[in-house]
Amino acid sequence: MRELLPKVRQSAMRIVWLSLIATVLSVGLFVSSASATVMKYADVDRLIEISDIIIHAEVVEQKTYFDTEQDRVVTDTTFGVNRAFWGKVGEKVTIQQWGGTYQGTTHYIPGDARFEVGEEVVVFLHKGKDVVALSALGQAKFSVEKTNEGKLVSRDLSDITFMLEQNGQQKLGHLPGETRSFVSFVAELEALVQGIKGGTNE
């Protein structure tokens, strides 16, 4: 990872977040304000299209540090893989994100996903030359939670401002979070992966 980004900040953004080109509006990949990131909405179909790896996993480790070659704080999050819906992976997959809490200060990109050790998730990932990253910031993370009614899967979109189409015009707005049965989500995901990727991961 460290030899990946020896040049300028724009080059680092282009490489690490290459997969965001399809979903983010500006040529800088995303437009950040003080509290939000403006993006196009990515449904599960679109996430599958732009992802190289799709896994059901548990967060087993996080490491936040200052990367001198990128000149920024980064966080490496390692997942223990329960199941790979797409992509050839081992028992663990590590992604990198810009930001994190380092030396008492939190650096955070609005709209990006946050993870905690022990958390169960389904994530959609893009594989670059030497790095794995979320395919579409916070839109690429689905949280899995056990309830008395069974497992639920949800996606928190509250930190993202979307460019929406209404009556033939574009406007900025927010979308509600999404929650559904984990069983039905997995069944749909399996069918969509087979249709969009042209096969299964077996």
Tens of pLDDT, residues 115-125:
999 999 999 99
Distance CA 38, CA 24 (A): 7
Nearest to 16 by CA among 157, 128, 182, 147: 128
Distance of CA 177 to the CA centre of its chain: 15
Tokens representing residue 164 in the block: 């929406």
Phi–psi pair at 24, nearest 5 degrees: -95, 145
84, 54 contact by CB (below 8 A): yes
CATH label, 9-197, candidates 2.170.150.20, 2.40.50.120, 2.60.40.10, 1.10.3720.10: 2.40.50.120
Q: If residue 191 lies in a helix (H) or strand (E), which one and from where to where? A: helix 182-197
Nearest to 50 by CA among 167, 163, 128: 128
Give 120's strand partners. 58, 144
Look at the pTM and tell me if it is higher than 0.75.
Answer: yes
Pairing verdict, β 150-155 and 141-147: antiparallel
pLDDT-based confidence at 38, cuts 50/70/90? confident
Domain ranges of the chain: 9-197
Distance CA 70, CA 85 (A): 32
Tokens representing residue 42 in the block: 């990515």
Q: If residue 135 lies in a helix (H) or strand (E), which one and from where to where? A: none
Average pLDDT, the chain: 83
Percent of the chain with pLDDT over 70: 82
Tens of pLDDT, residues 142-193:
999 999 989 999 999 998 989 888 888 889 999 999 999 999 999 999 999 9
Distance CA 19, CA 37 (A): 16
Nearest to 38 by CA among 50, 47, 53, 28: 28
